[in-house]
Structure 1
Amino acid sequence: MGEQRVRVTIEDAVADVRLARPDKRNALDQAMFAGLVETGERLKHEPSVRAVVLSGEGPDFCAGLDFTEFRAMAGRGPAPELGAPSGGGPARTRGQRAAYVWAELPVPVIAAVRGNALGGGLQVALGADIRIVAPDARLSVLEVKWGLIPDMTGTQLLPELVGRDVAKELTFTGRIVRGEEAVELGLATRTDPDPLAAALALAKEIAARSPHSIRAAKRLLDQAGRVDLATGFAAEQAEIRTLIGSPNQVEAVTAAFEKRAPVFRD
């Protein structure tokens, strides 16, 4: 059921993942949550995938939680306590998993955002490593409008990108941020009039590099600021010792000197 909401094609080592509910602006219902989690978990174990592009079909990335979910909330009491983390990661609920599974992928994930990325939709985009947005895209931490808080990892990931004070302003007000301002704030990486084409081009460029060095770089950069410097420096040296002299590293050097495109092994 869940995967009907998310479509995936893999070509030239790039997984093109699309939220596929355009008639509802790719709004998040239980089937969409399931589809995002299932797709992300499956891609974790696809060794031939070297980069992922995450986007939405139709004019929007994701307009947030489906209205029927809000109506259901109004008739329920307090939410049940969280269970144990699924898959051994820090994210506990299905909603958190739908956003954070993209951060857990071992390869770079690029979100291509056009139209609306609101509330939970924005939090899904925050799980990506890079966000390319249309200049007129509309991004918002919209939960306050519904008397809620961002609960899909946003309260923890947003301050890393924009700073604690800006994160508070965006969360307390729920104001709409256009694409160009999103870049200025650090909420997005860069703008492009065709974010999907730009994201696919970047993914293909990354996929042409040594997959082992890209994965090592992602592991290290994801640790930065989350571990002490001694731990980070030690991890850096452990990764470089693994890479030096490895088949893909030798191929990178050989191809550069021979002025040809490298052929890497996954």
Structure 2
Amino acid sequence: MSNVPNFYKDRVALNVLAGSVQNAKDCYEAADHHIVLGVLSKNYDTDEAAIKDMKLYQAETDNALSVGLGAGDPKQSQMVSRISAELQPQHINQVFTGVGTSRALLGQSDTFINGLVSPTGKPGIVNVATGPLSSDQPAAEVPIETAIAMLKDMGGSSIKFFPMKGLAHIEEFKVVAKACADNDFYLEPTGGLDLDNFEEILQVAVDAGVKKIIPHVYSSIIDKETGHTRPEDVKTLFEIIKKVLD
């Protein structure tokens, strides 16, 4: 299995949560493989349990595994780095301060690592204090261009802009998207994306000229009864992607 992401050839790839190995397979097929499947480290008590289970997901999806924190939980940062070193997944979710550790432990530059920055209410300014200790301190507000440069310094691949709360921070997102395009960096809008606002959010990033975009669509497309992501909704999102890119 390669740790070079399948989606490197894609401009847009989805990121959804997988509730089981079968759910991951179903969603992988629903998006015609233009997707990574999120499995949350927070759901496991030990590194060993996470590694054993996540290997099953890798085997069934050609390693389209996205190792997740769990609602951006900074306390999971170290565990994500440790298990990713063993798993060598295609995609890793990290808090801002955890990116360098993950890249160093991976020992390669292929795996896609995002760095979580948060909206501040001020277009062009983001909060990078998203780590285990820093998230409990006053916000560290920096220009988005500086945040991008710092992530590049640490070996990061993209900005994870979270929590977007749907369209609540769309004006800030427009500035982030332009900065990513201008600085040859990738972008992952996350938090509150759903079937209704997905197209508008994606269109902003595409219009800005971002080269690679990975929208995260989580709870809004999860079946409350089963806890699994609905493959039919993944298919709908994939159709929207094709429409926007057409």
Task: Specify if TM > 0.5.
Answer: no
Pick the structure with greater CA Rg: 1
Q: Which has the higher contact order (CA 8 A, sep 6+)?
A: 2
Q: TM-score, normalised by structure 1?
A: 0.33
